[in-house]
Amino acid sequence: MRMGRREFLRNAICAGLGGAGLYSALGNLRLVEAAARAYGPAAFDDYKALVCVFLFGGNDALNMVVPRDAAHYAQYAAARATLAVPQADLLPLTPLAGGGASDGASYGLQKSVREGDAVGMAGLQGLFNGGKAAILGNVGTLIRPVTKAEYRNGSAPLPPQLFSHNNQQAYWQVSRTDDGRNLGWGGRIADLLQDANPGAYIPMNIALNGGSVLQRAANSNPYVIGNDGPRYFSRFEWDGDSRRAFLALMAPEAQTHAFGRSYAASFRRARENADAVGTALEASAPPATAFPDNDLAWQLRMVARLIKVRATLGLKRQIYFVSIGGFDHHDRLLGEQPVLLAEVAQALTAFYNATVELGVADSVTTFTASDFGRTLSSNGDGSDHGWGGHHLVVGGAVRGGRFYGRMPVLQNDGPDDAGWGQIIPTTSVDQYAATLARWFGVADGDLGLIFPNLGNFASRNLGFMG
């Protein structure tokens, strides 16, 4: 059988590395660099974007997607006790034929209606019922599948520092423990596909209002932009004497030390990127789609504006990172979470409508992530740090109107409860992300370079992307 070019490169490098394991930091990086040669300027003739919406703090997804039929709701209400959303406050989800939840339950979205907001989650309900959004059940960080018995007797390998905000935020975005550089899986995708944007003015990875671990790459830094546009070095742009002096210091080869040259090059690149993006945005009217007045929506509005000028910026592939915080509801869950969920739903709905306006709905996929799910059990007024949780995927290419993954048994100390109401995930972040990466353009044979634990799971494609 004839060996393909990518397989030859991979095997040759593995042999050359000798003692360096296939998934060591050095070995994996070199394999990614070798495989990247197959994704040259002509690799893609279309446009695609992934948009990660990170819900910082750990969203209580058990109160976002709630059973609503009598039997399953009764079980949910008994387990959640003081945290149960009233059955009357659920917006019905109507799956397409064959797309129902694994447990046979009927589900709904919490209305999330607040004063002055008569919409709440209704827009997201419409996207799901219209086949443009899917629900992925009980996702979490895993190295391999874990049973309750294995967790309790300590026989299964586990992600580092479960239930810790910082550690689990990072592991969601890195999804490996063997890379000391902590490159994000979005960054590793960018390293692999970097040549697919041959004429790009800015990197493939773009973050709103701050960098992300997800986009940390070996060969390119993510581009960071604000809700209103590029961020400039205002003092050095407008103050004449300071500007002239500083720019002289930043001129090419004005520094004698390597560190200074590197800093100057980064500064010049930042200014050039800001000029290119600012010029492109100024020349293009924003989408006409109305966005609600909240920070997440402003971030997604800027994403829509950047997508509109993608050709001007020379981009065929893009990965965006936006976020919203405040989900660490150890208390006031029933009062505060609905406000945040309404903001998320309204922002996602407006953004999807903007992609329709721009003619790229089938080319842009938005997905949620969070530190972890929260405990099924109540602490009185809130829930504590958990593990598995449900997530949303939105876009024209999504096989929407369906539930994916296995929904957990909502029973305290039940078969899915690791203890203290912490639900063991049955779908891994690796499977979730690999399904997105495959749609984005990563060849199936290269997914293991990005997600080294993917082979530990029975399915590498969850099927929610068309």
Q: What does the pLDDT read at residue 286? A: 97
Q: What does the pLDDT read at residue 114? A: 59
For residues 82 and 75, give the distance between their C-alpha atoms in angstroms, rounded to a whole number.
13
Question: Is pLDDT of 5 > 70?
Answer: no
Mean pLDDT computed over 243-255: 74
Question: Is pLDDT of 20 > 50?
Answer: no
Question: Is pLDDT of 271 > 90?
Answer: no
Exposure string for 379-397, b = 16+ CB within 10 A, e = fewer: beebbbbbbbbbbbbbbbb
Q: How many CA atoms lie within 13 A of 259 on its CB side?
A: 0
Summarised one tens digit per residue, pLDDT across range 375-417 is 999 999 999 999 999 999 999 999 999 999 999 999 999 999 9
Q: How many CA atoms lie within 13 A of 48 on its CB side?
A: 21
Q: How many CA atoms lie within 13 A of 253 on its CB side?
A: 0
Question: Is pLDDT of 16 > 70?
Answer: no
In the chain, the amino acid numbered 422 is: Q
Q: What does the pLDDT read at residue 18? A: 32
Q: Per-residue confidence at 234, pLDDT binned at 50, 70, 90?
A: low
91: helix, strand or coil = strand
Q: Tell me where in the chain the CATH 3.40.720 domain(s) lie.
A: 47-229+281-456
The CA distances from residue 181 to 27, 33, 177, 351, 446, in Å, are 13, 16, 10, 33, 20
| Phi, psi of 135, rounded to the nearest 5 degrees | -115, 125
Q: Per-residue confidence at 115, pLDDT binned at 50, 70, 90?
A: low
CB atoms within 10 A of CB 45: 6
Q: What does the pLDDT read at residue 238? A: 59
Read off the tokens for 334: 């029933």
Report whether 173 contacts 207 (CB < 8 A): no
CATH of 47-229+281-456, one of 1.10.1200, 2.20.180, 3.40.1130, 3.40.720: 3.40.720
Summarised one tens digit per residue, pLDDT across range 327-372 is 999 999 999 999 999 999 999 999 999 999 999 999 999 999 999 9
| Phi, psi of 457, rounded to the nearest 5 degrees | -115, 150
Q: Which among 403, 411, 337, 402 is positioned nearest to 370, based on CA atoms?
A: 337
Does the predicted TM-score (pTM) go above 0.75?
yes
Cα torsion 336, 77, 107, 395 to 10°: value is: 30
Q: What does the pLDDT read at residue 13? A: 35
For residues 425 and 149, give the distance between their C-alpha atoms in angstroms, rounded to a whole number.
14
For residues 431 and 454, give the distance between their C-alpha atoms in angstroms, rounded to a whole number.
7
Checking DSSP bridges between strand 133-140 and strand 223-225, what pairing results, if any?
unpaired
Read off the tokens for 45: 């003739």
Mean pLDDT of the chain: 89
Question: Is pLDDT of 162 > 70?
Answer: yes
Q: Is the dihedral of CA 273, 279, 285, 291 positive or negative?
A: positive
Summarised one tens digit per residue, pLDDT across range 41-97 is 889 999 999 999 999 999 999 999 999 999 999 999 999 999 999 999 999 999 999
Contact residues for 407 (Cβ-Cβ < 8 A; gap 6+): 101, 102, 103, 105, 137, 138
CB atoms within 10 A of CB 56: 16
The CA distances from residue 250 to 239, 246, 253, 269, 274, in Å, are 16, 6, 8, 11, 16
Report whether 341 contacts 121 (CB < 8 A): yes
Contact residues for 227 (Cβ-Cβ < 8 A; gap 6+): 208, 209, 295, 298, 299, 301, 302
- Round the CA-based radius of gyration of the chain to a whole number and report it: 23
Checking DSSP bridges between strand 223-225 and strand 205-208, what pairing results, if any?
parallel
Read off the tokens for 292: 């609600």
The conformation of residue 200, written as its DSSP 8-state character, comes to -
Mean pLDDT computed over 424-440: 98
Residue 3 backbone zone (phi > 0: left; psi -120 to 50: alpha; other: beta):
beta
Contact residues for 362 (Cβ-Cβ < 8 A; gap 6+): 395, 396, 397
